[in-house]
């Protein structure tokens, strides 16, 4: 197996898929990149058993086809220290010996048998949908932060995807907060739903660009994303997602409209004085005045700020976890936000006021913290 390739092109491709690699693996073969040279095309794969990521690159010169597993860390560390130049790879299939020649000299390392590398699962009976890279990136950005970390409830650690011929819905919740992100400019051929784990979502977010078109193939157990020269295959989370529609309150007569940036800045300052366990901030609305306050009785700390707002409904006082509010406000981009409430012991609904994109709908729900 012999080929010549630019060091910077190879490094860029390896970094694109390198996020799949774990720092510690049960199988030593997973510490390697799989290189497969066929008909002048080089396919490089990385896997952690649950997720496999592949990228295809055309070498400057390809002499002999073959495949080999090359130690990932050693190869990445070496490439990072080269200026852009052609590298010649020569592999001995009998001993798995690898010789890399550069302008500076020669480097020898030993790979592993490519036959030991885990094979990508086949997607039998898969449905497919094609959507813009920008939609995928936005959907992940707006939802992934709201996923849970509870190992006892693995379904909540991923993003629930509900695809239909009319729209695409992405949902994330950790039982304290919930985000529902809807796009009407994408559609699937039939109704289907699945739960995507967090790791492949983060890999997608760091690799997908707005210009890409992403093809998603999925069946009961596996999903595959194809865009540019990259292919990501991941195992789906098995289980039934909770009925999230049931927890979204339908009647919310108390409606508060406030400047998003001022609201977020105010919560950031006031929350410094909140209880370190509950992170509670109190919102008190009367007329066109919103009072944001927090106190920590253990240390006699307290803070209070006032903002002007637009409000319709009964005067009310409600407590929320400031961390959740700040996360949500940071993931909304409109100038103003609307907070819809019914009672102090029921969830509040946060939505953008007006929308930059007519095809996009965002609803965020946050559970209250009881005011003692």
pTM of the model: 0.91
Considering only CA atoms, which of 67, 62, 56, 9 is closest in space to residue 40?
62
Asked if residue 171 and residue 235 are part of one domain, the reply reads: yes
Walk along the chain (372 residues) and give the pLDDT tens digit of each residue: 999 999 999 999 999 999 999 998 889 999 999 999 999 999 999 999 999 999 999 999 998 899 999 999 999 999 999 999 999 999 999 999 999 999 999 999 999 999 999 998 888 888 889 999 999 999 999 999 999 998 889 999 999 999 999 999 999 999 999 999 999 988 888 899 999 999 999 999 999 988 889 999 999 999 999 999 999 999 999 999 999 999 999 999 999 999 999 999 999 999 999 999 999 999 999 999 999 999 999 999 999 999 999 999 999 999 999 999 999 999 999 999 999 999 999 999 999 998 778 889 999 999 999 876
183, 212, 245: which is the final residue of a domain? 245
CA 329 to chain centre: 18
Asked if residue 152 and residue 217 are part of one domain, the reply reads: yes
116, 140, 168: which is the final residue of a domain? 116
Asked if residue 110 and residue 6 are part of one domain, the reply reads: yes
Asked if residue 189 and residue 154 are part of one domain, the reply reads: yes
Q: How far apart are CA 310 and CA 256, in angstroms?
A: 6
- Element housing 71 (H / E): strand 66-71
Residue 372 lies in a domain: no
Please, which residues bridge with residue 304 across strands?
Answer: 293
Residue 35 lies in a domain: yes
92, 116, 140: which is the final residue of a domain? 116
Asked if residue 241 and residue 253 are part of one domain, the reply reads: no
Q: 3-state SS of the chain?
A: CEEEEEHHHHHHHHHHHHHHCCCCCCCHHHHEEEEEEECCEEEEEEECCCEEEEEEECCCEEEECEEEEEEHHHHHHHHCCCCCCEEEEEEECCCCEEEEECCCCEEEEECECHHHCCCCCCCCCCEEEEEEHHHHHHHHHHHHHHCCCCCCCHHHHCEEEEECCCCEEEEEECCCEEEEEEECCCCCCCCEEEEECHHHHHHHHHHCCCCCEEEEEECCCEEEEEECCEEEEEECCCCCCCCHHHHCCCCCCEEEEEEHHHHHHHHHHHHCCCCCCCCEEEEEEECCEEEEEEEECCCCEEEEEEEECEEECCCEEEEEEHHHHHHHHHCCCCCEEEEEECCCCCCEEEEECCCCCCCEEEEEEECECCCC
| Cβ atoms of 221 and 234 closer than 8 Å | no
């Amino acid at each position: 197996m012999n080929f010549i390739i630019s060091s910077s092109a190879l490094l860029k491709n390896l970094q694109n898929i390198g996020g799949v690699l774990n720092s510690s693996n049960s199988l030593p073969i997973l510490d390697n990149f799989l290189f497969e040279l066929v008909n002048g095309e080089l396919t490089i794969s990385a896997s952690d058993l649950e997720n496999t990521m592949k990228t295809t690159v055309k070498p400057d010169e390809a002499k002999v086809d073959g495949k080999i597993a090359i130690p990932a860390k050693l190869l990445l560390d070496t490439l990072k220290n080269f200026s852009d130049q052609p590298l010649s790879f020569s592999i001995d299939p009998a001993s798995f010996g690898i010789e890399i020649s550069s302008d500076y000299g020669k480097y020898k390392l030993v790979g592993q048998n490519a036959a030991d590398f885990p094979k990508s699962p086949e997607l039998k009976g898969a449905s497919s949908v094609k959507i813009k890279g920008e939609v995928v990136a936005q959907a992940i950005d707006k939802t992934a932060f709201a996923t849970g970390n509870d190992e006892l409830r693995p379904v909540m650690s991923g993003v629930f995807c509900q695809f239909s011929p009319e729209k695409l819905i992405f949902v994330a919740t950790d039982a304290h907060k919930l985000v529902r992100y809807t796009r009407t400019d994408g559609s699937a051929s039939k109704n289907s739903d699945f739960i995507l784990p967090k790791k492949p979502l983060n890999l997608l977010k760091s690799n997908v660009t707005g210009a890409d078109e992403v093809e998603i193939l999925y069946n009961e157990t596996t999903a595959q994303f194809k865009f540019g020269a990259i292919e990501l295959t991941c195992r789906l989370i098995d289980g039934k997602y909770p009925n999230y529609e049931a927890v979204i309150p339908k009647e919310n007569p108390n409606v508060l409209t406030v400047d998003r940036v001022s609201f977020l800045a105010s919560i950031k300052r006031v929350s410094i004085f909140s209880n370190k366990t509950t992170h509670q901030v109190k919102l008190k609305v009367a007329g066109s005045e919103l009072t944001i306050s927090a106190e920590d009785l253990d240390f006699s700390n307290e803070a209070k700020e006032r903002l002007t707002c637009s409000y319709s409904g009964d005067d009310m006082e409600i407590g929320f976890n400031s961390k959740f509010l700040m996360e949500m406000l940071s993931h909304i981009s409109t100038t103003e936000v609307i907070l819809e409430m019914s009672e102090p012991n029921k969830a509040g609904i946060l939505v953008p006021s007006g929308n930059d994109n007519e095809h996009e709908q965002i609803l965020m729900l946050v559970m209250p913290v009881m005011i003692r």
